[in-house]
Structure 1
Amino acid sequence: MHYVDGLECSEFDREVFTELRDGGLSCVTVTCGYWGDALESMDSLAAWRELERENADLIGIARTAADIGRIAAEGRTAILLGFQNSAFLAGRIRFVELFADLGVRVGQLTYNIQNDIGASCYDDPDSGLTRFGREVVAEMNRVGMAIDLSHVGNRTSLEAIEHSAVPVAITHANAASLVPHARNKPDDVLTELAARGGMLGVSGYRNISGPYAESIDAWAEMVAKTVELIGLDHVGIGTDLGRKVTFEHLQWMRQGRWSMRPQYGAGSATNPGKQPPLPWFPDTTAFPAKAEALRRYGFDDQSVSAVMGGNWMRFYTEVLPKPGNQQLEEE
């Protein structure tokens, strides 16, 4: 069985990589940046190459689904490099291919404010996918970079799903019909996502999970209700885990350089700080306990395997480049 985490925003070091291994993680998508321009984003990617060299016994950077399988078979955790915004493109359509060549495999179209691709989940009104956004979606499809809609506005999300030639992902969010929150997704977005083969990474992050974060069995109930809503094949895990993230990191995530006023992201003025770790999921060493919770709730072994990582693996096989960068070779 593969354990896959669709998105983490941790500050990674050897201790965290060891936790990934102790939890049996086959693959994790990491957050390489939020607001950094192209140069800052390249610097982040270079730092990840250094992390890989220094921790090669624990991790390996994956570019294909085959890489994920190989790295996991070697007893290591495959790392998918991703960004939680499209700032790394700096408004340049040709940078999609350049960053794909550097190993970027997941790109979130917007973060917490509108950009030149579309609206965020906090923008009202949401004016939808821009002309540049449509070109970015097509180019991400061509080079095998998975599209992430986690912080993206609802109209922009629907239009991105429509314009994408391959399935897209919401790597870390929940159903708004279960937990009303701007960061969560309404049923029409989720059903369209599933209808086109996409994936939702169910999160346990306190601010967007409400009562379902109170215990691991409550989280399993949320997974089950999500399966009822969009089907087993489209549900995975996206913890949004922030190991070693400080309040200063959190301020940068929420505010970047675009605001001089306090920004709360998924929090609020009455709940502004970093959320304490979940007692039942302090770090990824607790990943196997999620499988057990799903079994207790009534999921059979095949369904547990699908949610814990099998569905993500199928998605990556369909969306990421084939060995030899087949998508580009066919152009």
Structure 2
Amino acid sequence: MADLQDDLHATPRVDGLEGLDDLGELVEDPFAATPYTPVTDPGAAPLERARALLAAHPVADGYCGLPWALRRLPWYDLELGERDLETDVPRLREGGVGAVFWSLHLPEGLAGDRAVGATLEQLDLVRTVVAAHPEGLRPAHTAGEVADVRHRGRVAVLLGPAGAAALGDCLGILRSLHALGLRVLTLSGASWASEAGLTRFGEEVIREMNRLGVIADLSGASEQTVRRAFAASRAPVLCTRSAARALRPHPANLPDDLLAGLGAAKGLCLVPLTAEQTGPSLRDVADHLDHVRALAGPECVGLSGTYDAGTAHPRELPDATGYPHLIAELLRRGWPESDVALLTWGNVQRVLRGADFTARAAQRRREPSTARIAELDG
């Protein structure tokens, strides 16, 4: 059995300090944002500047429900384009999207072995779809791979988030899912991550996620779970679909104190482009981005299209082609180009780098956990 007394603070966060690479040498802070170089003419029109910015710093979209949406189509060609979908390769390119997380979330009601099996089916579908569209899509797992795919003119596809039910309360299944490409896991809907917060087994799940490089998604988790995850995770955490509750009282949106806590933890709030969570207009979305940026900081806010997830979207953002118009609105509001570049691309890259760095450090000091939920929470 793994050492259940593993000190959560054995590998300190690297906030503004150097870290260690695989050979124990000092390296640049893996959690830091990439330095910014201006790319547009300040005197150009906002939409023209937005398109130029996205050409250099494309959108890393934090949530797309395409895998489940594809199950209802008898035939599709994402490179040619699909009018029955909100996401396809032509629209991703028109919208300036360079990377996208494909959700493995399941319909409510699936649990246990059914949830595990359905998640595996989703993983197999994604791998098959990406392989069938090599001119537009490429799989990626790390920040380096994402950048490489972008430089090759393709859209990088990352796997996740998946729901906690996909684990079946077994860390061996978590490792298997990671081996198949899973990068993000949502910490809600499980007995070990409930309204009461994380149990001892839940904390062990986070430790094993840190060791593997699987990023914790806290959208929809209870406030107690969110707060404990801030403290327990040595890697940056995500909220893949959370806006500001102060502006719109949706249960998945974050109150101001948690947004500030997310910023302090160097996490990332990906604001969803949904009418239900952010409002019916593009300006409403921009208001949420302003609010999250002010409280959590420009290094801790990103974008989550939430397309093909069965949700309604703001009028001006019906599909993935709308991103340039949203970026133009932010430029009109006075956002510096450097902050826009973090919003679209840099912040997701930082989180991916942080997760990989934390995993390499954790793998040097602990073996795969064999803990069982009955032993810790029974």
Q: Please, what TM-score do these two structures have when normalized by structure 2? A: 0.72
1:128 equivalent to 2:203? Answer no
Aligned residues: 287
Structure 1 position 81 matched with structure 2 position 137: no
Among 312, 316, 320, the residue aligned to 1:280? 316
Q: Distance in 2 between matches of 1:97 and 1:288?
A: 38
Mean alpha-carbon deviation: is it higher for 313-322 or for 22-31?
313-322
Q: Kindly report which structure 2 residues correspond to 1:1-331, keeping only aligned pairs within 5 A, or say none.
A: 1-10=57-66, 11-12=69-70, 14=78, 15=81, 16-18=87-89, 19-34=91-106, 35=110, 36-110=114-188, 114-119=189-194, 126-209=195-278, 213-242=279-308, 245=310, 275=312, 277-320=313-356, 326=360, 330=364
Q: Alpha-carbon deviation of 1:205? A: 1.1
Unaligned 5+ runs, structure 2 = 1-56, 71-75, 82-86, 367-378
Structure 2 CA distance for aligned equivalents of residues 130 and 20 of structure 1: 40
Q: Distance in 2 between matches of 1:216 and 1:84?
A: 28
- Please list the CA deviations of residues 117-149 of structure 1 after superposition, one character each: whole Å capped at 9, or x if unmatched: 212xxxxxx211112211111100100001000
Q: Percent identity?
A: 27
Flag structure 1 segments of 5+ consecutive residues without an equivalent. 120-125, 246-273
Deviations 1:85-112 (A, max 9, x none): 11111110122211111100011111xx
Residue identity matched to 1:290? L
> Over alpha carbons, which structure has the higher Rg?
2
Q: Is the 8 A contact 2:211 2:360 kept in 1?
A: no
Distance 2:361 2:126 in 1: 25
Give, in whole Å, the separation in 2 of the partners of 1:41 and 1:215: 34
d(CA) in 2 for partners of 1:242, 1:182 = 21
Q: How far 1:40 moved relative to its partner?
A: 2.0
**How far did residue 214 of structure 1 move?**
3.2
CA deviation digits over 1:29-86, x for unaligned, max 9? 1112324522221121111111011111111111111110011111111111013411
Structure 1 residue 26 displacement after superposition: 1.1
Distance 1:83 1:128 in 2: 20
CA distance in 2, matches of 1:225, 1:306: 16
TM-score, normalised to structure 1, is 0.81
Partner Cα separation in structure 1 for residue 190 and residue 277 of structure 2: 23
Give the residue type in structure 2 aligned to 1:23: G
